[in-house]
Amino acid sequence: METETEDLSRRSIGARRNPASQEAILDAAEAVLREGGIAGFSIEAVARRARAGKPTIYRWWPNRTALMLDVYTRFKNARAFPDTGTLRGDLVAFLDNQLLGFWKDSLCGTVYRAVIAEAQSDAGAEEALQAYQADRKQRALVLVERAKARGEVPQDVDAALIIDLVVAYAWHQLLVGHVAQSMGKVEAVVDTVLRGTPGYRA
């Protein structure tokens, strides 16, 4: 009789991820993070929890940072980017809901801070973080591009710079452990950024 472990391994063979196996591994990774925290998180621990072979996990996630980021991304993707009808409203919601509010008092903030820390000394972690950030930034740029289409900002405004300034504030608060305290300043931060945006019209 085929065991659960053998069934998972059989369905996982090959470079292409099997959706069911992928979800089982991500579920296991989330459980390990919740139970043991960052210190207890390892590919070995996830493999045991998922009843999967380590080679399968390493084939899809080359290091523990990439696996942590995929767990984090599952939570992040559940929150849609805002579309309030104004650039100010979108940036306030982005900073409040997608960044600070997402990290406040949650496993997600702990995981992301650990990923950033590991990226400072591990090339694989840095690569995984940069890939994740590049994807998120492209999605966030839509907030400013919509504002251009509405005439709120000129077409030549640097959309990437606006997003970088908002995200940089959030990152700093996360890294120094001041996420909760900073949430009361969300509107002030956005207003400061927009006042410095050439041609912005409320």
CATH (domain of 32): 1.10.10.60
Say yes or no to pLDDT of 14 above 70: no
Same domain? 50 vs 103:
no
- Same domain membership, residue 105 and residue 154: yes
Domain of residue 39 covers 4-61
CA distance 122 to 112: 15
Same-domain check for residues 99 and 188: yes
How much is the pLDDT for 179?
96
Instruction: Indicate whether 113 and 138 sit together in one domain.
Output: yes
The reported pLDDT for the residue numbered 1 is 40
78 pLDDT band, cuts 50/70/90, is confident
> How many structural domains does the chain have?
2
Q: What is the pLDDT of residue 61?
A: 93
Q: Are residues 81 and 162 in the same domain?
A: yes
Checking if the pLDDT of 195 tops 60, the result is yes
- CA 66-161-196 angle, to 5 degrees, is 145
**CATH code, 128:** 1.10.357.10
Q: How does DSSP classify residue 157? A: S
70 has a pLDDT exceeding 80 = yes
Band of pLDDT at residue 27, cut at 50, 70 and 90: very high
Confidence tier at 15 by pLDDT (50, 70, 90): low
Residue 132 Cα to chain centre, angstroms: 7
pLDDT at 67 over 80: yes
Indicate if 46 and 89 belong to the same structural domain: no
**Same domain for 40 and 97:** no
Mean pLDDT of the chain: 90
- Asked whether 71 and 26 are in contact (CB, 8 A), the reply is yes
pLDDT greater than 80 at residue 17 = no
pTM: 0.83
Q: What is the pLDDT of residue 44?
A: 95
Domain boundary among 21, 40, 61: 61
- The upper half-sphere exposure of residue 201, i.e. CA atoms within 13 Å in the direction of its Cβ, equals 9
Select from 161, 130, 139 the least CA-distant residue to 94: 139
Q: What is the mean pLDDT of residues 61-66?
A: 92
Q: What is the mean pLDDT of residues 178-202?
A: 96
Query: Is the domain of 104 the same as that of 166?
Result: yes
Instruction: Indicate whether 200 belongs to any domain.
Output: no
Q: Indicate whether 134 belongs to any domain.
A: yes
